[in-house]
A and B are shown apart, each in its own frame.
Chain A
Amino acid sequence: MDEFEEFLDEGGIVEPNDDMPEAYRSAIFSFIEMHANSEYMGGLTERDWIPRAPGLRRKMTALAKTQDEIGHAHLLYMVAADLGVKTREEMVTDLLEGRTHFHNVFHYRVHSWTDQIAVAYLVDAAALASQQAVFKNCSYGPYKRILRRVIAEEGFHMRNGEEMLLLMARGTDVQHQMMQESIDRWWLPSIQLFGPDSKPDDELLRWHIKSERNEDLRDRYIQKLVPQLLGGGFSIPDPALRQDSEDGKWKIGEIDWRPLEEIMRNGGPDSSRRISDARRAWYDAEWVRAALDEAAKADA
């Protein structure tokens, strides 16, 4: 392991057929599997409001965005499968049976169109920040290459979110109020997306899977988003939020981690509906997959 870690410290890149310690294989696999699950569940989260997207342009944009998320899931499941730990089918089954996890934000329900905007703006900005930090110094080659594309597309999503947020900021009283309610709902889940503070000796950092500590990423996110939201005339649902008079940095209050703990047990506000929707769709279509396999075998 020491030799392997030295190789990683020197900027070594691991490819699927290379020798690697089982602990590393397992860690990178779980990390990518969780990312893939989250992209897939993110698609399901956004799905509710696509049919209601206001106007043809918004509807096409919303479809394209969610298609990107599903596309990311598709690529990531393939990259994960190449590690030989589980097949793609096993990963999907484990997700649907509640044996694996997906990001906290996708355990919540999108209640309105402005919630959809909050997902595009708050959640995608948080996801993008995390992914950029992984991409920067990622030791696993296939994941790093996929992340290059994921990040490029997430950047568009975030800018699309910013555009819609600004429209609501300048919009009617009703729109402004709706947007505020959505910020109130999605602020805490978004800052929890970074996870609790990193452990002192986080192996994901040591193995160059992550390049920055969770709390550092969260802090940078807060410094960027708080002024944007306040500038749009919105408030932030954190009574302890304050700007430090010396360094001018925004400090948030203590984070209540109980919702995240519930979510880790799949007990989030919309976890069971999300998983059961996905499960129903997957098992209802079992015959399609079986028939296509049968047709492919007959064709071969």
Chain B
Amino acid sequence: MTSEINDMIPDATAKELILAFADDELCVGQNHSWWIAVGPFLEEDLAFTSIAQDELGHARALYSLLSDDIDLVAYGRPHSQYRSAHIAELLCHDWPSALVRHVLHDLAEEIRWTAMLDSTWLELRTVATRALAEEQFHVHHAVSLVKRLLSTSEGHMRLASVLNELAPLGREYFAGSDVGLLASGVLDASLAEQERTWMKRVEDLLDEFELDIDWGVAIPSQGREGTRSKDFSALHDEMVAVLRIDPLASW
């Protein structure tokens, strides 16, 4: 059995799933890093920056499963070859959006890593185990902040509309193909099951604050197919601003 697991070679679908996950992490890590030194208070600056580093670290670990040249994969593709969910690309330069995306993203991320914990792709399993340990802190941070803010009338007023706007976009975290990935043991929960778990967790979180999300009927964007959101271009320009000066130089 062990030798069978060791021999597992990820197929194109598995690689595409990992690329999409890595791109989500790259974009969110990049976006979180915008908040350094301008958060609501110093402790929050520190927490957000720490989470940004973790997310970028996850992106790095996931890209390393696909290529030895991590920066080339992370930064060297044309826009249409990125696979990020649009919610991950949003700049979120206002605190309510940044916080709401943080909670939606990390609740999703925890579920996504959990589905890889027993993966037959052993390198992925190792990455998932390490990432999940960090992820629990991210979820705790996001959920406790959101709960405390929603318990006040001001916080409720500021966050409710943003939650309604962004939560449906979060469904895209679970978009893409998982054909054959359960059978081969790369995942132990389908993307559709993961999506249902996530929606339930979001609903449970918001339930006590009398917030109902209108999830819509379909996943609202095509980030996984190569269509980029309106914010991606600005985000990507920043990512590669220095690399572009001389792509062949070592920085």
**A contacts, CB < 8 Å to B:** 40, 43-44, 47, 50-60, 63-64, 66-67, 70-71, 73-74, 77, 113, 167, 171-172, 174-175, 178, 277-278, 281, 284-285, 287-292, 294-296, 298-299
Contacts and interface: CB of A to CB of B under 8 A. Distances in A.
B239 A51 contact: yes
Contacts of B149: 288, 291-292, 295
Contact of B53 (A55, A63, A70, A113): A63
Contacts of A58: 251
15 contacts: A43-B45, A44-B38, A51-B239, A54-B243, A54-B251, A59-B30, A66-B36, A67-B45, A67-B50, A174-B249, A278-B38, A281-B38, A288-B149, A291-B149, A299-B148
A70 B242 CA distance: 24
A70 B33 contact: no
Nearest to A88: B42
B232 to A, nearest CB: 14
B68 interface: no
Contacts of B43: 74
B246 interface: yes
B207 interface: no
A40 to B, nearest CB: 7
Contacts of A175: 246, 249, 251
Interface string B22-35: 00001001100110
Given A55-B71, A63-B36, 11 more contacts: A56-B60, A56-B71, A59-B30, A67-B46, A70-B36, A70-B49, A175-B249, A285-B40, A290-B154, A295-B151, A296-B148
B95 A40 contact: no
Interface in B1-57: 26, 29-30, 33-34, 36-46, 49-50, 52-53, 56-57
A175 B249 CA distance: 8
Contacts of A70: 36-37, 42, 45-46, 49
Contacts of A56: 26, 56, 59-60, 63, 70-71, 74
Contacts of A44: 37-38
A59 B151 contact: no
B241 to A, nearest CB: 4
Given A43-B37, A47-B37, A287 B154 contact: yes
Contacts of B57: 60
B152 interface: yes
B152 A291 contact: yes
A59 to B, nearest CB: 6
A50 B36 contact: yes
Contacts of B154: 287, 290-291, 294
Interface of B: 26, 29-30, 33-34, 36-46, 49-50, 52-53, 56-57, 59-60, 63, 70-71, 74-75, 95, 145, 148-149, 151-152, 154-155, 158, 238-239, 241-243, 245-246, 248-251
A158 B121 CA distance: 40
Nearest to B151: A295
Contacts of B158: 287
A52 B242 contact: yes
Contacts of B50: 67
B242 A53 contact: yes
Contact of A51 (B30, B152, B246): B30
Contacts of A64: 53
Contacts of A63: 33, 36, 49, 52-53, 56
A283 to B, nearest CB: 10
Contacts of A74: 42-43, 46
B231 to A, nearest CB: 13
Given A73-B42, A284-B95, A52 B152 contact: no
Nearest to B48: A67
A294 B242 CA distance: 44
A67 B148 contact: no
A285 to B, nearest CB: 3
Contacts of A171: 249-250
Contacts of B34: 51
A60 B74 CA distance: 14
B56 A59 contact: yes
Nearest to A290: B154
Nearest to B70: A56
Contacts of A291: 148-149, 152, 154-155
A284 B98 CA distance: 14
A178 to B, nearest CB: 8
Nearest to A114: B242
B95 A54 contact: no
Nearest to B248: A172
A291 B154 CA distance: 7
A118 B231 CA distance: 31
B155 A55 contact: no
A59 B239 CA distance: 9
A288 B95 contact: yes
